[in-house]
Structure 1
């Protein structure tokens, strides 16, 4: 299934771009996610998902497949499996960052394949829940980046004053570490094509509100669904009530006869 979500963070695009390429910075911002490994262009981790009384633990890996610095676009392939072996999830995620003054707009296109219990929620509900989870992620990321940004200039000035040589060496090492991910502007113009074009994408705008949540806290899918789930269940509930009333009326008429 294809989904599209949008959110924004209150930092310049350069700051948001660097954060997006650093799994160790962004992973704690995603509800339920725990990063266990980040090496080269690959990373590994786990995600806890709560579906009613059942808690599922997905363990998986991800790879940065494409990073285009000029277009501010990154493509990630990720897949995982429920630790109990009852379901799988795989996704190709393409994120594009667009500057909007001092803020950054992020558009996320996801090609998702999921099996097991979460798949029972249905495509539409999964898209709506995904939008809300991204909203929580955006709020956590915005808080993290805005807290980091003011301190950065002071720390950088202090480091240069105390040890300019060490600072230069550290900067060089940091550039070398990140070089595998970044495609210099103008080096290529590769475009990402989704693997499932037959289904129209669903859009959902994520509002950056709310506080942070512990990274190891499970994502409550039914709790996150909230109103959308109630809207979908309401017609079913009404139908059940109507059938129940009709059944009672029929029984009463039969008794009178």
Structure 2
């Protein structure tokens, strides 16, 4: 499943880049994220609880940053295991473009699931993934824009 979009953030590109690399800001913006710990400049661990249709699952996994091109772009990818419900893996190519005092964040997300949650059907999984990505990027835009204004 692939999706793409963009978000205009009322903050300079350096502030947006810093936020994209701040585990605390990411934790606050990722829907269902209980824990996000930075292991290195390019590695984190995460615990996320998600409800996909009738199935609620706790995913534990690793997050990796690659293709780093500060402050313009990077790829964030991860894989989480949800025990008996299965797994989720995916990533996003994120690029930033300064437009005056604002920054346009563009993303292309790829996601895949397996196990019991894959049996829920592609339409339910796709709509849930789109909703979660939309929640993350709008929350991220609001949080970074608000902190830049402060």
The alpha carbon displacement at 1:125 in A equals 4.9
- Cα deviation for residue 111 of structure 1 reads 2.7
Contact conserved, 1:74 with 1:94, CA < 8 A, in 2?
Answer: yes
Could you list the runs of 4 or more consecutive aligned residues of structure 1 that deviate by over 6 angstroms after TM superposition?
Answer: none
Please list the CA deviations of residues 111-130 of structure 1 after superposition, one character each: whole Å capped at 9, or x if unmatched.
322113443331x5544433
* 1:137 counterpart residue number: 136
Structure 1 or 2, whichever has the larger Rg, is: 1
Match of 2:29 in 1: 29
CA contact (8 A) 1:81 1:88 kept: yes
In the superposition, the TM-score normalised over structure 2's length comes to 0.83
8 Å CA contact 1:8–1:103 kept in 2: the answer is yes
Segments of 5+ residues of structure 1 without an aligned counterpart are 152-257
What TM-score do the two structures reach when normalised by structure 1?
0.51
- Hey, what does 2:49 align to over in structure 1? 48
Q: Which has the higher strand share?
A: 2
Partner of 1:80: 80
Closer, same or farther: CA 2–64 of 1 in aligned 2, 3 Å: same
The total of aligned residue pairs comes to 148
Partners of 1:13 and 1:44 in 2: CA distance: 26
Change (3 A) 1:103 1:74: same
Q: Which whole-Å CA distance do the structure 2 matches of 1:126 and 1:9 have between them?
A: 28
Deviation at 1:53, TM superposition (A): 4.0
- Unpaired runs of 5+ in structure 2? none
Q: Between Structure 1 and Structure 2, which shows a larger proportion of helix residues?
A: 1
Please name the residue that 1:146 is paired with: 145
